[in-house]
Every structure is written in C-alpha cells, then in structure tokens.
C-alpha cells in the first residue's frame, strides 16, 4: 500500500506574470491574497521531496501547471516540460511513485478566453495538453489524475443563493439568474466528462498500463441522506426539463424586506456575510493599518506586541487582529468614538481599522493622530443588498462602474418593485467617518463617498438624488438591517438548499457509472477511469443545524470549524468500492489544519488512517493514502493563517523570507503511522 503526501502547482509554485493562470486573475480582480512566491516549490522541490522520503513515503503527488506548459495556444514550452521531468526523476530516485494531476483547479487564460470549461473547444484542448505532458512524463509516471475534484469545478458557474460571490473562477456576471447559472453548470459538467474521457485516452495512448482517474471531493453524510441524494440525482437528471424544475435548481423565494434596501457602510466583502447578502462590485479598496496618538513609539505592526489595540466589535479587523498582531491585547469597542476615547485616555495604544476609516478619524482632529505601519490586509468595500434584489444590484453596479444610466427593466424583480412602489430608497450608511459617510452634528448635513453613491442610485431610480432616506448604521447593525422577520427561517432554507444541491457530491461517480443521461454525461464517457480516487476531509453524522453550519463554514474556507467525523472515511471508501467493484481505491487527499473543531491534527491523522486501514482489512482494495499536504500552501486566495494551514511542515508564507520548512508535531505522528502500517520499524526508515 502506498503512503504519500501531496501539493498543487498554484498553491506552491511562485507566481510569474508570463504564466498567469485563471486563478491569478481571479485573485487579483477580487483583491484576494495572491500566491506570490508561495512555497517556492518550483525551485525547492528537491527539498520537499527529501522531506517526504524521510517520512517514509512511497508516493508523492504534484500537479502540472497547464499555463506554464502551454503559454499560448498550441505552443508548448520544452523548458517547462524538462523541469517537470527533473521533478519526476527526483521523486523516483527517492523511492516514491509520482502521482501527477493534469489540472488542479487552474487553466491558462487563453483557454478561458476561448470559453473556458464551457467552451466548445475545451475537451479537445485539454486532450492535446494531456498528450504532450504524457509524452514527457509517462515513462516514469503510472498514476495520473485528469482533474482535481471535478465535482467542485461547477461552483465557478453555480452560486447557492446565500453566497455573495462564486466560490471559484470563472464566475458569471453580476445578476446572472438561476437559469443562466444552471445552463452554464450543465455545460461545464458535460465538458468535464468529455475532457476526462479524451484526456485519459491521450495518456493511455502513450502508456497503456497508466492508471488514470479523478478525485471527487466527498462529504461524510448520514447513509440515508447520501442514498437519497444519489436517487435524486439519477431521477432528476432524466431530462433537461426535470433537472431545471426540481429542488434547489429551480427553488426561489421572495427576497427579504428589511429596514433598508441596501447598505453602503464600510461593508467589507467576506464569505460569512455573503451567506446573508448579495454584494456589488467594490467601490473602494482599503487596507488595514494602525492609528496611534502622535508621537507614539508604535510605528509598525511588530511594535504593537504587548500593547492594547482597539478594534471595532464585529468588524473584519477584529476577526483578523489575532493573526495580524500576535502578542497584542485586543480591546473590542462599540464604535470609533469609543476607540478614540480609549486612545485619548491611554486605555488603548492603537486602533486597528481600514485606512479609509482612519483617514477620516485623523482628519477630524488634525495633528493629534497618526496612521502608521505597513498595510496589513486589503479590504474590498461593497454595497450589500438582500439576496434576490438582482435588479437593484445591477443599478448599484452601474453607478460604481460609472456606466451611463440605463433604462430600468420593464418587469423588475420583487425587490426593485418594492423600492419603486415606495417611491424612495432606504439606505444604511456610516455617519461618523468623514470622507466616507458623515453627518455634521451641528447642521445635520450628510457628506462622503458612500452618501454620494446612494444618492446617485436614487437619481437613477427616480430621477431625483434626494429621494433617499439615509439611516446611520453601527457596525453590528449592517447585516441585520437588510433582514426581515421572515429571515428567521433562513437556517432551515439554507440547509435544505445545501443538502439538495451542494452536497450532491456523488454526481461524478454516477456519471462514470453510466447512470446519468447522455445530455449530461455523453455516450462513451462512462467507465473512463482505472481506479477510484477519493478526497475526504469532513463529515456530519447527523443533520443537526449546528453540524450543518460547520459543514457550510468549511465549504466557505473556515477550516478551523470544519466538522471532523473519522468514521465516515471508512464508509466512503466502502461505498466507492461498491460502485466500482473491479477497481482499486486511492485516497488522493485527506488532512487537516492544526486544529479543526477542537480536534488536533495529530489526532485527526491517527483516526483517519486507522479507518483507512480498517476498510482495507475488511476487503476494500485501498491502494494508497496521500496526506494533504507536505507543506503549508497558499489556500486559494485566503489570507494565510492557522485556519487554512494543512502543512505537515509549516512555512511562514508571509513572515519568513527564507520560507523555512519547520516540522510540526504531525510529522513524527505520520512517520509512525506509515511505519506501523507498512511493517517497517522506525529504525529501518530512511
């Protein structure tokens, strides 16, 4: 049985503009965390391969960067292919099996410009790329994956109603309705089945005994629920019409009517807020920095260690402060007036907030305060509207983009009808930050960028910028102000939506089994795998709302609260083997952040590897187990921190210019697990 580790090109290879991929553009346009040098694996791969060898690994998984291999259509870079040959040779020389992924969530921009996954040319373009890579590497590579987690790629086109943004690229234009999302998602699913079949054919034409598969992302669910979802997928996929007319895929509910119609009040776009609101495009990009009294010895973030730092309660600054200011004592405050009072009285030494806010506060008493230190994190200021207010959102986006006024829709959705019927726009804004949103305490006059923005929205709706009621909102009021009492049903509606759509992770295997219709999985695409690849991380034994909330959080990237359920690992493996009884099973990904829902990674590894070995002892033909990941990685645009660090070896991606690989306690545990499972005593390991 193979034991190994894994990584992926976008998450570990240094960024270079001439090889920019779809993820690089996605992260740049959305002001997400760029990968930068990442772990510099492109240069330091030998070091990581040696670390894996010392663990006792017998397999090493990596992915090939399509954007590097094919920098322009039909032009393949021989130097890049030579580099990957050297990487494979290093893995083989270390006594390990190379496991190669052809596309790990990224593709070249020129492929996207031709339509991307839903373009007519995609299956053939992918097959041509697969053939070139196979010709370069297949002599020493037997194990291949065409696509990493193909069942997740549809979320570049399908956005559950509670999310403010798409989970991954390419995303659809703002306001794309359910019909458009469904059409694109169906095209993507069909194209992935076709590309997988043609890519597998290309690899096996070079090496007939190649083991080619994929690794769908599987969730641990109660057995009865998984059976229900499988039956539903098969039943609802019998025709295009029934797919469109069933469950979440056609579900709709009236948008909520809260105290205000929109919020423009220093609202930063976050995944958590995106579950309750829809976001406009950014109207301002701010950066987290420090405000201190003039003459303070604190002139950078590092000097705040041991100091008391005020943060706005419920702000993104509060959520990020512990990671950005290690060693500081946080003092949550209700508003910025309280923060300034704490600074003046010496109860706090600094205030952490967006520079746009700090500039306004400093301007109110010039010379008393100073903004210091390096930018700590970028924040995208957006306008929030209730989910379902798509027509109003399009008007807001037009104002932000500076587009000329466009006619309002003849048949507006319910949200816009409510606003037009009332004859006035109700907007939540900031009232105490000059330059953004400010109401003069003496004259009552409003001013600032956010105020002007919502007045322009009113002008486009009614022809009169004064037909807007401005409501000052505290930080904690911004999201609740967009809700009505009917939103108490949101948790139930959200989980129903989640269960009937996002958790239907078995659709890829159902297609490979030949149980989906040809309009979704074309004839000839069934059976196109040589092994059963599985990715398993999290699961819930019951559908209790708090457990489903944890699962939803993990899908949104909050892995520190992800629900740990080791027993589901064995069941997932048994069920996968039952679907394809003549094929070996490979655990392609399994791993954890340092602590997930209170479970340390060392315990996570012990329990999950134990379940894998139990499944193997019960007759499941488990061929291997790969732990994600050998080192810390850039986790798809997330700001790096403990909540998304899956590395057995920790790399301080932002603070250590040397990018040193520092072993965690999980290293010794995984080494012992490999030794026990393979029968190799610790002393006989390399």
What would the mean pLDDT of 65-71 be, rounded to a whole number?
98
pLDDT over threshold 50, residue 432: yes
Give the tens place of pLDDT for each residue, 576-628: 999 999 999 999 999 999 999 999 999 999 999 999 999 999 999 999 999 99
Could you tell me if 357 and 286 are in contact, meaning their C-beta atoms sit under 8 angstroms apart? yes
**Which of 20-24, 168-172, 234-238, 437-441 bottoms out in mean pLDDT, i.e. has the lowest?**
234-238
What would the mean pLDDT of 508-520 be, rounded to a whole number?
89
pLDDT over threshold 50, residue 497: no
Backbone angles phi, psi at 214, to 5 degrees: -135, 180
Task: In whole angstroms, give the CA distance from residue 475 to residue 427.
Answer: 14
Q: Domain boundaries in the chain?
A: 2-248+490-684, 262-282+382-483, 284-380
pLDDT over threshold 50, residue 485: no
**Which of 99-113, 379-393, 481-495 bottoms out in mean pLDDT, i.e. has the lowest?**
481-495
- Neighbour count for residue 29 (Cβ, 10 Å): 12
Task: In whole angstroms, give the CA distance from residue 175 to residue 488.
Answer: 25
Q: How confident is the model at residue 504 (pLDDT cuts 50, 70, 90)?
A: low
What would the mean pLDDT of 103-124 be, rounded to a whole number?
96
Instruction: Give the alpha-carbon dihedral of 567, 568, 574, 575, to 10 degrees.
Output: 160
Share in percent of the chain as helix, strand, coil (round to 5): 45, 20, 40
Give the pLDDT confidence score for residue 680 in this predicted structure.
62
Q: How confident is the model at residue 487 (pLDDT cuts 50, 70, 90)?
A: very low
Give the pLDDT confidence score for residue 19 in this predicted structure.
94
Give the tens place of pLDDT for each residue, 268-301: 887 667 767 889 999 998 899 999 999 999 999 9
Give the pLDDT confidence score for residue 496 in this predicted structure.
42
pLDDT over threshold 70, residue 503: no
pLDDT over threshold 70, residue 667: yes
- Choose between 492 and 122: higher pLDDT: 122
Report residue 192 as tokens: 């992935």
b/e map of 563-583 (b: 16 or more CB within 10 Å)? bbbbebbbbbbbbbbebbeeb
pLDDT over threshold 80, residue 489: no
Give the pLDDT confidence score for residue 684 in this predicted structure.
37
pLDDT over threshold 50, residue 522: yes
Integer Rg of the chain from CA: 26
As its CATH architecture, domain 262-282+382-483 has 3-Layer(aba) Sandwich (3.40)
Give the pLDDT confidence score for residue 180 in this predicted structure.
82
Residues 6+ apart with CB under 8 A from 6: 60, 61, 62, 99, 588, 589, 626, 627, 628, 629, 630
pLDDT over threshold 80, residue 428: yes
Task: In whole angstroms, give the CA distance from residue 599 to residue 602.
Answer: 8
pLDDT over threshold 50, residue 506: yes
Q: How confident is the model at residue 484 (pLDDT cuts 50, 70, 90)?
A: low
Task: In whole angstroms, give the CA distance from residue 59 to residue 578.
Answer: 25
pLDDT over threshold 50, residue 242: no
- Choose between 13 and 226: higher pLDDT: 13
Give the pLDDT confidence score for residue 235 in this predicted structure.
58
**Which of 99-113, 277-291, 498-512, 529-543 bottoms out in mean pLDDT, i.e. has the lowest?**
498-512
Could you tell me if 653 and 632 are in contact, meaning their C-beta atoms sit under 8 angstroms apart? yes
Task: State the pairing for strand pair 532-539/277-279.
Answer: unpaired
**Which of 253-257, 437-441, 676-680 bottoms out in mean pLDDT, i.e. has the lowest?**
253-257
- Choose between 497 and 673: higher pLDDT: 673
As its CATH architecture, domain 284-380 has 3-Layer(aba) Sandwich (3.40)
Token pair 């992924």 in the structure block, residue: 101
pLDDT over threshold 60, residue 236: no
pLDDT over threshold 50, residue 493: no
pLDDT over threshold 60, residue 245: no
Report residue 680 as tokens: 């190799």
Q: How confident is the model at residue 303 (pLDDT cuts 50, 70, 90)?
A: very high
Q: How confident is the model at residue 486 (pLDDT cuts 50, 70, 90)?
A: very low
Give the pLDDT confidence score for residue 500 in this predicted structure.
44
Give the pLDDT confidence score for residue 275 in this predicted structure.
63
Q: How does DSSP classify residue 499?
A: I
Q: How confident is the model at residue 51 (pLDDT cuts 50, 70, 90)?
A: very high
Residues 6+ apart with CB under 8 A from 681: 675
Give the pLDDT confidence score for residue 549 in this predicted structure.
77
**Topology agreement, domain 2-248+490-684 and domain 262-282+382-483:** no
pLDDT over threshold 80, residue 416: yes
**Which of 66-75, 546-555, 617-626 bottoms out in mean pLDDT, i.e. has the lowest?**
546-555
Give the pLDDT confidence score for residue 544 in this predicted structure.
79
Q: How confident is the prediction for the chain on average, in pLDDT?
A: 89
To which H or E segment does residue 344 belong?
helix 336-345
pLDDT over threshold 60, residue 109: yes
Give the tens place of pLDDT for each residue, 446-459: 999 999 999 999 99
Give the CATH number of domain 2-248+490-684; options: 3.20.20.80, 3.20.20.370, 3.40.50.2300, 3.40.190.10.
3.20.20.80
Give the pLDDT confidence score for residue 163 in this predicted structure.
67
Give the tens place of pLDDT for each residue, 169-209: 999 987 777 778 878 888 999 999 999 999 999 999 999 99
What would the mean pLDDT of 354-380 be, rounded to a whole number?
89
Backbone angles phi, psi at 45, to 5 degrees: -60, -35
**Which of 139-148, 247-256, 603-612 bottoms out in mean pLDDT, i.e. has the lowest?**
247-256
Give the pLDDT confidence score for residue 555 in this predicted structure.
75
């Amino acid at each position: 049985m193979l034991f190994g580790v894994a990584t992926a090109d976008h998450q570990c290879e240094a960024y270079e503009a001439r090889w920019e991929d779809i993820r690089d553009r996605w992260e740049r346009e959305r002001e997400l965390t760029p990968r930068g040098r990442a772990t510099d694996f492109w240069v330091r791969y030998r070091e990581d391969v040696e670390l894996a060898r010392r663990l006792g690994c017998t397999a090493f998984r990596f992915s090939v960067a399509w954007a590097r291999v094919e920098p322009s259509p039909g032009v393949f870079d021989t130097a890049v292919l030579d580099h990957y040959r050297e990487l494979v040779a290093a893995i083989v020389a270390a006594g390990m099996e190379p496991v190669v992924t052809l596309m790990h969530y990224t593709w070249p921009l020129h492929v996207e410009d031709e339509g991307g996954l839903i373009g007519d040319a995609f299956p053939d373009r992918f097959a041509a790329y697969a053939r070139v890579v196979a010709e370069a590497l297949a002599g020493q590579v037997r194990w291949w994956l065409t696509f990493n987690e193909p069942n997740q790629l549809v979320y570049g086109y399908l956005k559950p109603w509670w999310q403010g943004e798409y989970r991954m690229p390419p995303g659809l234009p703002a306001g794309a309705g359910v019909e458009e999302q469904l059409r694109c998602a169906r095209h993507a699913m069909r194209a992935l089945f076709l590309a997988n079949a043609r890519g597998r054919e290309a690899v096996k034409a070079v090496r007939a005994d190649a083991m080619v598969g994929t690794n769908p992302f599987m969730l641990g669910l109660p057995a009865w629920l998984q059976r229900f979802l499988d039956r539903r997928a098969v039943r609802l996929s019998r025709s295009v019409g029934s797919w469109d007319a069933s469950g979440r895929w056609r579900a709709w509910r009236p948008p909520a009517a809260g105290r205000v119609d929109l919020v423009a009040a220093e609202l930063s776009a976050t995944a958590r807020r995106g579950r309750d609101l829809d976001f406009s495009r950014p109207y301002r990009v701010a950066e987290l920095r420090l405000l201190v009294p003039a003459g303070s010895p604190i002139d950078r973030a590092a000097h705040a260690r041991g100091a008391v730092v005020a943060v706005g309660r419920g702000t993104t600054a509060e959520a990020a402060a512990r990671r950005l200011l290690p060693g500081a004592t946080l003092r949550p405050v209700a508003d910025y007036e309280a923060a300034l009072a704490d600074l003046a009285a010496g109860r706090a030494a600094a205030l952490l907030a967006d520079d746009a806010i700090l500039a306004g506060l400093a301007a109110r008493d010039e010379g008393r305060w100073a903004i210091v230190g390096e930018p700590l994190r970028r924040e995208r200021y957006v306008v929030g509207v209730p989910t379902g207010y798509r027509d109003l959102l399009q008007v807001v986006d037009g104002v932000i983009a500076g587009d000329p006024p466009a006619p309002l829709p003849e048949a507006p959705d319910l949200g816009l009808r409510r606003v037009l019927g009332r004859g006035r726009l109700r907007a939540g804004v900031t009232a105490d930050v000059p330059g953004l949103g400010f109401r003069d305490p003496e004259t009552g006059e409003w001013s600032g960028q956010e105020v002007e923005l919502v007045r322009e929205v009113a002008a486009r709706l009614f022809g009169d910028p004064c037909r807007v009621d401005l409501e000052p909102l505290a930080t904690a009021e911004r999201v609740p102000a967009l809700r009505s009492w009917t939103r108490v049903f949101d948790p139930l509606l959200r989980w129903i939506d989640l269960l009937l759509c996002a958790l239907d992770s078995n659709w890829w295997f159902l297609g490979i089994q030949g149980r989906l219709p040809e309009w979704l999985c074309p004839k000839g695409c069934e059976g196109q795998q040589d092994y059963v690849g599985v990715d398993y991380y999290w699961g819930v034994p019951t559908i209790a709302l708090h457990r489903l909330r944890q699962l939803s959080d993990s899908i949104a990237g909050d892995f520190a609260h992800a629900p740990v359920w080791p027993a589901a690992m064995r069941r997932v493996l048994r069920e996968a083997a039952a679907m394809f009884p003549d094929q070996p099973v490979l655990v392609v990904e399994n791993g954890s952040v340092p602590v997930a829902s209170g479970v340390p990674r060392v315990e996570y590894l012990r329990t999950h590897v134990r379940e894998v070995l139990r499944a193997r002892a019960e007759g499941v033909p488990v061929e291997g187990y790969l732990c994600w990941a050998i080192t810390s990685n850039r986790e798809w645009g997330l700001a790096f921190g403990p909540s998304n660090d899956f590395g057995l070896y920790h790399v301080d991606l932002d603070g250590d210019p040397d990018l040193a690989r520092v072993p965690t306690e999980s290293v010794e545990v995984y080494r012992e697990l490999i030794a026990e499972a393979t029968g190799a005593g610790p002393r006989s390991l390399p």
